[in-house]
Structure 1
Amino acid sequence: MSPSSSWSSWLDGIMGGRSSRSSQEYDPILGSYRSRSSSGTYTSRSTTTSAPSPPPSRSNSFAGSFPSLVREITPVLCVVATEAQRIASGKVPAPLAGVRVLEVDLSAMVGGTVFRGMFEERMKSVIDHAEASDGKVILFIDEMHRLVGAGDYMGRHDATNMLKPALARGRIRCLGATTHDEYRKHVEADPALERRFQKVDVGEPSTKPTIAILQGLKQGYQDHYGLEIRDAAIDAAVHLADRYITGRRFPDKAIDLIDEACSASNIEETREKIVSPDHIAQDDLLSICVVGSSFLSSQGCSFLFLGLTGVGKTELAKALAEQLFDSDKMLLRFDMTEYASPGSVTRLIGAPPSFYGYHNGGQLTEKVRRRPYSVVLFDEVEKAHDCVLNVFLQILDDGVLTDGQGRSVDFKNTVIVMTSNLGAKHLTSGMAEKNTMESARNLAMEEVRTYFKPELLNRFNEIVVFEPLSYNQLKEVVKIQIKSVVARVASKGISHVLSDDVLDVVLSESYNPMYGARPIRRWMEKYMVTIISKMLIQGEANEGSTILVDAADDKKGLKYEVVKKEIMVDA
């Protein structure tokens, strides 16, 4: 192979060859993108006032500033590919007719440059190739901020310093793409580089253009998955993605949603056969009764639970997580006694720039970012510092919280639950019949209004007052706890039989109306679970055995008897 052909092959790998993707490999952009037409306008401009005039010896047909596409997470590559397709089909202004768009692979240019001057030689060859085309080549540089420092030798010979003179002379056309953060950090820091490019903001398309994009992609997905995608499914995908997928941008998140729905189509069909209308009605009824219609609002929903300790405030939050999000592990619990100092805000949302722990993120914001569908429990909220309570105002009002790194964390799909023991003494007096329960509730609410600011209380969807548990309610708690113990023993292959008197003994020995249901659990752990555990360790009970539990003769405790399984031996 001749040196010239070898060099041509290397240049092909850098620009428009095997290292660069063809415009046909990108999904088409079918929406009405202003940025697409803007990029075509700037690449075909004659001159602009922000760039110096070219020397008289050169043509002025394509001098001036060149477009720099700046975006967050939007399909810039697809915009460029679509523009290339328009150029190839001749649907462009005359100055762009016959032009080729070539992607420059900076990684390939830097790779293998062992000795000084190798990168400069490669970069100069790319520039010379573009200049020799007499305006018929547009260089596209994705992640253009990587130009800064590429091939740098002691801060003098990076890619930008080689590209800027060519851009200033107006001899090449160049198209760059980067993000807002990288543009601000790298490009704006070099004024000479910044004025060589015309900034074009590529915004996120709205729902209507996104639907048009999906309509254009529909046939490809239908052919790939062998199914029909209805227009209603596309509309639903776009609107559901807009409502529930908050950390990503259109059209990417809607396209992924359609893709995942198609790949899971067989599973979905199976589920439709299993789920009956009765199940759906029960789920809807649960959502309406427990959460209320405010769950569908743009701010999510929030509750303030008031009451004595042990009345079930935390347990109800766990039940909400299990019913709404299919697992009690979707409960994010924060003990607000740990956030009693003014500096606690940084622990929740993260430290600001230049402070220690800035890159770690906040305890609250990071958890919600990872689990946007969850119940967030702030336990004993009255013990938090006022600065922390001020942070809650933003969550309850807008459903959005900005963390220490400036990122918006979406709380619209969470259920916010705060608990407090304020006013518990009034509820206790109501239980002792010193006051009526209605007046006790009013006194408790009056104390709550005195302690919390009106703007905080006014943002809750509902304030729920938990009355002290009655004797009959505690009896139901005992039944639940006994069922839990029986299930734990059964997992060891041991049967557990309890007499009717056991329930009365447990309740009489553990009953304390001031502390609610918690003493019941402690008593059962000490006098039932611990004793059964010792039987297992000492070999008194093993798999196949039956443990009989009955009330002691004095009704002050429990007595246990183990019946082991008889083993039949053939004679």
Structure 2
Amino acid sequence: MVEENVPARIRDKRLVQLSTSALLAGTTLTGAQERLVNIMNEVARAGNIIFLIDGIDDLVGSGGQGAVQGLDVSETLAEFLGAGQFLTLSTTTVTGYNQFIVNSALGQVLARVDVDEMSTDQAIQVLESKVGMVEYKQQVFFSYDALEQAVVLSKKFLHDQNLPESALAIMTESASFVHTTKGINTLVAGEDVASIVAQKTGIPTTSITDDESTKLMKLEEDMHKQVIGQDEAVSLVANALRRARAEVRSQKRPIANFLFLGPTGVGKTELAKTIARTYFGGEDRMIRIDMSEYQDKSGIYRLIGQPGQQGTGILTEAVRQNPFSLLLLDEMEKADPDVLNLFLQVFDDGRLTDSVGRVIDFTNTIIIATSNAGTAFVQQQIVAGVPLEDIRQTLIHGELKQYYRPEFLNRFDGIVLFRSLTRDETKQIAGLMLGRVKKDIEAKGMSFIVEEAALEALAEIGYDPEFGARPMRRAIQDKVENQLAELILSNTLHRRDRLILGEGAMIRVESA
């Protein structure tokens, strides 16, 4: 209207907004109606006013302000609007329109106009029109790249709001951040905006640093410090993480979808935890769901929420709050087929709509499903020397069809086969587990030394090709931790003592 880029009918008119909260505050229904009638008469007499009612559903008794006050002035308003004495613009959400307007008197006199989210270019224009005031208040200056990044990154990563609102919020926060950290009369750059978005979402949006680049190139090495063996699994996952950080992947799908197949105790969950630590920054970034709890159709509502209910879904709410995370779906084969169908859209489109209509973004999530399905067949084939790729294809076209439909299996970026652990690998795992025991002992001011003979003894006790590393955990508990507990409680140990785990997994103490 300021630029006169409007139809002739509304040119040279004033835009006046009605404050619904002021209209309804501290009054009865009769008082609110009297106020509204007086306002409408004044607008009609002026003749050159376009009347703006923001949040018109507040005027309906069952909505917003009206519900609180027990007031409904929609009938009175509808009478004036039906007379056509002045132009009215009103706004509401799709939900507000469907719940409160469409079946009320206002629904008969108001023409519905759907307003879509702005395009990126339009949102940048809005920011350009608003940036001057923000610059003046914060005493900083915005580069064009910063405005562009505010729009692009908010559209990509902030899904609770739409453009331009989300970008305006990022612009304001970026200005405050730069004012605080760099001082006045400084430039807000694109990297500053990316840093704010990264803080809000936990998603790395800034440029890859040299240190991060080195870390990404050494992912396999870092993962093998925690996961023994399983070279193929580690390599597949590391490649997917590098593609994701370099943005050489589809931006409309999750970072990666993997199906981990293998017997119990061979490192499937441990590899998932390692990914959470090395790529996402900690195990708290791992969302773990036991799919054996979703063996009937009602499990869908537990995951995405019950329509019409206040509660949110376990899955959708967890990912909404932590979009940059690892989603671990344990024992996937035990879930109901309808629950599996729910994940088809997630694997393919990277999005899922919850029970209240919010679109949850999975494009910054790694999804790992674990399964024991077909593991006996896999181990037989590995022992027979069959190549892993041949085993994988046989599984897809045979054994796995008992549990998953072909279109479900095709959604995975990789079906990763975990083989049984060897005796030597079990010994290495014993070393890793004892490393954690060592940290606990050193925290008490003593040293803990593990001899090779102790590892051999534990490997003899804890090796079981059928159950993987789990028997080793019990062996260390029985043979090592029980001894340590007795020594500590007997008050015979002193600071700087050396505890040596030697032959037969027996502990001897050397005093300082």
| TM class by smaller structure | 0.7 to 0.9
The one-letter amino acid of 1:145's match is D
The answer to whether the 8 A contact 1:428-1:514 is kept is no
Aligned to 1:59: none
1:299 maps to 2:253: yes
1:141 maps to 2:141: no
1:166 maps to 2:80: yes
The answer to whether the 8 A contact 2:58-2:66 is kept is no
* Match 1:526 to one of 478, 494, 503: 478
Deviation at 1:201, TM superposition (A): 2.2
Q: Deviations over 1:291-327 (max 9, x none)?
A: 3637731112201111111111111111222223211
Identify if the C-alpha distance between structure 1 residues 526 and 248 changes in structure 2 by more than 3 Å, giving closer, same or farther. farther
Instruction: Tell me the secondary structure at the aligned position of residue 321 of structure 1.
Output: helix
Aligned to 2:228: none
The answer to whether the 8 A contact 1:497-1:547 is kept is yes
Deviation at 1:408, TM superposition (A): 2.5
Cα distance in structure 1, aligned partners of 2:354 and 2:452: 55
Identify if the C-alpha distance between structure 1 residues 550 and 281 changes in structure 2 by more than 3 Å, giving closer, same or farther. closer
Deviation at 1:239, TM superposition (A): 2.6
Deviation at 1:450, TM superposition (A): 4.9
1:316 maps to 2:271: yes
Structure 2, unpaired ranges of 5+:
183-190, 196-206, 220-236
Deviation at 1:103, TM superposition (A): 2.3
Identify if the C-alpha distance between structure 1 residues 152 and 513 changes in structure 2 by more than 3 Å, giving closer, same or farther. closer
Aligned to 2:17: 103
The answer to whether the 8 A contact 2:24-2:69 is kept is no
Aligned to 1:176: 90
Q: Deviations over 1:446-485 (max 9, x none)?
A: 4224542111111111111112222232222122111111
Cα distance in structure 2, aligned partners of 1:153 and 1:509: 70
Instruction: Tell me the secondary structure at the aligned position of residue 92 of structure 2.
Output: strand
The answer to whether the 8 A contact 1:305-1:418 is kept is yes
Structure 1, unpaired ranges of 5+:
1-82, 566-571
1:327 maps to 2:279: no
Task: Indicate the RMSD between aligned Cα atoms, in angstroms.
Answer: 3.2
Deviation at 1:500, TM superposition (A): 3.4
The one-letter amino acid of 1:113's match is T
Matches within 5 A, 1:465-544: 465-541=417-493, 544=495
Cα distance in structure 2, aligned partners of 1:453 and 1:154: 54
The one-letter amino acid of 1:138's match is I
Instruction: Tell me the secondary structure at the aligned position of residue 422 of structure 1.
Output: coil
Deviation at 1:284, TM superposition (A): 6.0
1:238 maps to 2:186: no
The one-letter amino acid of 1:144's match is I
The answer to whether the 8 A contact 2:392-2:415 is kept is no
Instruction: Tell me the secondary structure at the aligned position of residue 459 of structure 1.
Output: coil
Cα distance in structure 2, aligned partners of 1:529 and 1:404: 48
Cα distance in structure 2, aligned partners of 1:218 and 1:118: 41
The answer to whether the 8 A contact 2:374-2:399 is kept is yes
Aligned to 2:239: 289
Aligned to 2:27: 113
Task: From the CA coordinates, give the structure whose radius of gyration is larger.
Answer: 1
Deviation at 1:98, TM superposition (A): 5.4
Aligned to 2:293: 338
Identify if the C-alpha distance between structure 1 residues 186 and 559 changes in structure 2 by more than 3 Å, giving closer, same or farther. same
* Match 1:402 to one of 325, 340, 353: 353
Deviation at 1:195, TM superposition (A): 2.8
Instruction: Tell me the secondary structure at the aligned position of residue 309 of structure 1.
Output: coil
The one-letter amino acid of 1:487's match is K
Deviation at 1:540, TM superposition (A): 3.4
Cα distance in structure 1, aligned partners of 2:375 and 2:55: 60
The one-letter amino acid of 2:329's match is F
Deviation at 1:508, TM superposition (A): 1.9
The one-letter amino acid of 1:146's match is D
The one-letter amino acid of 1:468's match is S
Matches within 5 A, 1:367-406: 367-406=318-357
The answer to whether the 8 A contact 1:375-1:417 is kept is yes
Aligned to 1:277: 210
Identify if the C-alpha distance between structure 1 residues 262 and 479 changes in structure 2 by more than 3 Å, giving closer, same or farther. farther
Identify if the C-alpha distance between structure 1 residues 103 and 435 changes in structure 2 by more than 3 Å, giving closer, same or farther. same
Cα distance in structure 1, aligned partners of 2:140 and 2:33: 53
Aligned to 1:47: none
Deviation at 1:222, TM superposition (A): 4.2
* Match 1:549 to one of 490, 495, 500: 500
Cα distance in structure 1, aligned partners of 2:124 and 2:4: 27
Identity of aligned residues (%): 31
Cα distance in structure 1, aligned partners of 2:68 and 2:97: 22
Cα distance in structure 2, aligned partners of 1:161 and 1:153: 18
How many residue pairs are counted as aligned between the two chains? 462
The answer to whether the 8 A contact 2:216-2:242 is kept is no
TM-score, L = length of structure 1: 0.73
Instruction: Tell me the secondary structure at the aligned position of residue 302 of structure 1.
Output: strand
The answer to whether the 8 A contact 1:139-1:173 is kept is yes
Instruction: Tell me the secondary structure at the aligned position of residue 512 of structure 1.
Output: coil
Deviation at 1:275, TM superposition (A): 8.5
Cα distance in structure 2, aligned partners of 1:262 and 1:519: 56
1:202 maps to 2:115: yes
Identify if the C-alpha distance between structure 1 residues 453 and 145 changes in structure 2 by more than 3 Å, giving closer, same or farther. same
The answer to whether the 8 A contact 1:423-1:443 is kept is no
Q: Deviations over 1:507-546 (max 9, x none)?
A: 222111221112222222333234323443443335x242
1:463 maps to 2:418: no
With 117-126 and 321-330 compared, the bigger mean Cα shift is at: 117-126
Identify if the C-alpha distance between structure 1 residues 176 and 302 changes in structure 2 by more than 3 Å, giving closer, same or farther. same
Aligned to 1:352: 307
Identify if the C-alpha distance between structure 1 residues 320 and 161 changes in structure 2 by more than 3 Å, giving closer, same or farther. same
